[in-house]
Amino acid sequence: MDQIVISGTGVFTPEESITNKELVKAYNTYADIYNSTNKSDISQGNKVALELSSEEFIYKASGIKNRYVMDKTGILDPNIMHPILKKRSNAEPSILAEMSVKAAKKAMESAGKTSSDIDAVITACSNLERAYPAISIEVQELLGIKGFAFDMNVACSSATFAIQAAADMIRSGSAKTILIVDPEICSGHLDFKDRDCHFIFGDVCTAMILENKETANSNNSFEILSTKCVTQFSNNIRNNSGFLNNAKKSTPLDRDLLFMQEGRKVFKEVVPMVSQLITDHIKEEKINVENIKRLWLHQANKSMNDFIGKKVLGRVPEDHEQPNILQDYANTSSAGSIIAFSFYSKDMKSDEIGVLCSFGAGYSAGSIILKKIS
């Protein structure tokens, strides 16, 4: 069987960032204005007063201290509370494609590849900027890549599902070298007026190069030993934004057109689902859990990752065994586990094994077992 490797990764990080302190100040100002404006209705029980947020609340709930964003001005304006992005003409690169190209160039450099070496592009992310043409085809054009390209969306599991799809395509012979990009502007689907979730997401883009082991010349390649994906329908994480909104007479201010979740239910249901997925996957591949040296988990919530890591390893993981980038990047949907992998894989020794795992809306979860080969 062909040995498929991830031979390069790249991360594009936006220039602007928002600390918890900045975010709390903006939200609390908005809440104070709302409570003052609606004082009469609140006193009569017609409306509920908004509870203030705090840095302590955010960190305890998530483990997040900071997030990178494509625009902080609009987010921190109590009268706006969302990013403000310039509308581009059709002749200009879309913002997702622009982010993707920047991350892709880093991944190509780390893999020692040029555009002529790549024959397929997959854009895998939780929110696509438009219905068509595909963002991936635009990325392909901007990079001068021949072959084919397509977009895919499995929410927070988009990147790991794309790895399985790309590996399968390489094994089948439909492509030899594949570029995967994961552009995530999660700040665009977040309700910054909602205390329970205003702190969760950040923006970023990651990229990966997948190819046959024989053609890889990178000094940090990982063989894909096995992939395992699972889905189970749930409404507990949902976003109803789509092309039928106009037909349904939805308005841009409708709350269900942004990220929504039943946090406690998600925690209760997803943690055992993901723990079992990884545990079963390791057993199926006849790998002793003691040989798992690294867990690159989806960066959604520190408590979730701590529980999953303990369940899988049978003990509390050491910091280096389960790297956490949440404190700096927040939840970046499909890109989170790839950031952790990109930043915390170079120190691993030859033949050491790790598990890359994502999980999220759907529910969906993807487990990728990787072995360091160079």
Asked if 16 and 69 count as a contact pair (C-beta separation under 8 A), the reply is yes
366: amino acid identity, one letter: G
Which amino acid makes up residue 244?
Answer: L
Q: Do the beta carbons of residue 279 and residue 314 sit within 8 Å?
A: no
Q: Look at the block and give the residue holding tokens 């635009």.
A: 138
What the block records as the tokens of 218 is: 């990178």
Pairing of strands 292-297, 353-360: parallel
Which residue's structure tokens are 């979860």?
365
Of 156, 197, 205, 229, catalytic: 156
Q: How far apart, in whole angstroms, are the C-alpha atoms of residue 301 and residue 323?
A: 13
CA-to-CA distance for 136 and 221, rounded, in angstroms? 24
CA nearest neighbour of 208 among 360, 353, 339: 339
| AA identity, residue 77 | D
* 248: number of Cβ within 10 Å: 9
Nearest to 181 by CA among 48, 298, 41, 10: 10
Concerning whether 357 is annotated as a catalytic residue, the answer is: no
Angle value at C-alpha 151, between 133 and 231, nearest 5 degrees: 145
How is residue 133 written in tokens? Answer: 């043409």
Query: 187 is written with which tokens?
Result: 């700040």
Cβ distance 19 to 58 under 8 Å?
Answer: no
Dihedral sign for Cα 210, 296, 219, 181, please: positive
Contact criterion met (CB below 8 Å) for 181 and 134: no
Active site residues: 156
